[in-house]
Amino acid sequence: MQKIFARNGFLTTWIVGVVLFFFTSTAAEAKKLNVVTATTDMAALTQEVGGDKVNVESIAKGYQDPHFVEAKPSFLLKLRQADLLVVVGLQLEIGWLPPLITQSGNPRIQVGAQGYLDASQFAEILDIPTGLVTRAMGDVHPLGNPHYWLDPDNGRRIAKGIAGKLAEMDPGDSAYFQERFQDFDKRLTAAEQKWDAEMKPYHGRKVVTYHNSLPNFAKHFGLNVVGYVEPRPGIPPTPSHTIELIGLMKRENCKVIMVEPYFDLKTPNSIASQTGAKVVVYLPSVGGEKQVTTYFQLFDYDIALLTKAFQETQ
């Protein structure tokens, strides 16, 4: 009988232990906010300020064209669990995100609800069309260029905005999020000084980009974007435009062509061979390469590539 009690006592202790572990781990898990972001850059910035108080997942991958993401049902599984959805906005995700939000059955992240955050409201937006906007201009974004995260100053502003939103949704951890933001700000300021110093010798250098993805990056680091491989945003290169671009690059002595990793290199390589330019496959987003997992590494990677290309094409 004693054995049975002893065994039962052991069993009870074990069950209590398991239950306690389950509840404590569930409670710890429950403390975390589930954040889904449209892109990896928003995920990286959310992770910076959210720390271990958030679970962050991105829908698009860093090496994927964020204009053309398939609205796969598997994303609905993420979205239905989300407390907060962070989007780039400015119609970058208009082709795939709205039906996902509608189908998610999650009232928390519907447009206008507390868990919907458009990060573009915090950033400096460039290329806002002022005149008539038509599709003759290509797949133009009428509210401005949505590739705004490629300016460290915008990264700081977005992180601050996300920290504010996290604090609003989880007031108990408000101080934690603010502290994380202060730390991020400090590290970003130091990194920015380093990046600025590295890019300073190349201030004013002329570059061509495949898509108009770099206005904020170019403004911050003083690059001069003189042309695009695409004749219009979203329109594939045409022979006549390519010939014009080659002439322009020769006249302007432009020696660097910057291409996003999801575009074909055939036309940029052809242009480079005729102009003596160098093709640089830069990363527009965190996660574009396996080793680029943070917002800081994104700029480290791109600036290292660019400065090397500028040195080689002096």
Q: Which residues make up the interface to another protein (CB under 8 A)?
A: 30-34, 61, 63-65, 68, 70-74, 76-77, 80-81, 83, 87, 89-91, 93-99, 101-103, 105-108, 110-118, 120-125, 133, 135, 138-139, 142-143, 157, 165, 169-170, 234-236, 261-264
- Nearer to another protein by Cβ, of 206 and 232: the residue is 232
Q: What's the token pair of residue 92? A: 């970058």
Closest to another protein by CB, 158 vs 223, is: 158
Of 36, 44, 37, 86, give the one whose Cα is nearest residue 283: 44
Cβ proximity to another protein: between 70 and 183 the closer is: 70
- CB nearer another protein, residue 65 or residue 198: 65
| Distance in Å, CB of 252 to another protein, minimum | 27
Query: What's the min distance (Å) between Cβ of 170 and another protein?
Result: 6
Give least dist CB 103 to another protein, A: 6
Cβ 257 to another protein, closest distance in Å? 18
- Measured from the CB atom, the residue of 135 and 251 that comes closer to another protein is 135
The residue among 61 and 278 lying less far from another protein, judged by its C-beta, is 61
Provide the minimum distance between the beta carbon of 214 and another protein in the complex, in angstroms, as a whole number.
18
Q: How far is the CB of 235 from another protein (least distance, A)?
A: 6
Q: φ and ψ at 217, to 5 degrees?
A: -65, -45
DSSP states along the chain: -HHHHHHHHHHHHHHHHHHHHHHHHHHHHHTSEEEEESSHHHHHHHHHHHGGGEEEEESS-TTS-TTS----HHHHHHHTT-SEEEE--TTTTTTTHHHHHHHT--GGGSTTSTTEEEGGGGS-------S---GGG-S--TT--S-GGGSHHHHHHHHHHHHHHHHHH-GGGHHHHHHHHHHHHHHHHHHHHHHHHHHGGGTT-EEEESSS--HHHHHHHT-EEEEESSSSTTPPP-HHHHHHHHHHHHHHT--EEEE-TTS-SHHHHHHHHHHT-EEEE--SSTTSSTT--SHHHHHHHHHHHHHHHHHHT-
Choose between 43 and 254: whose C-beta lies nearer to another protein: 43
Write down the least CB distance from residue 255 to another protein, Å.
26
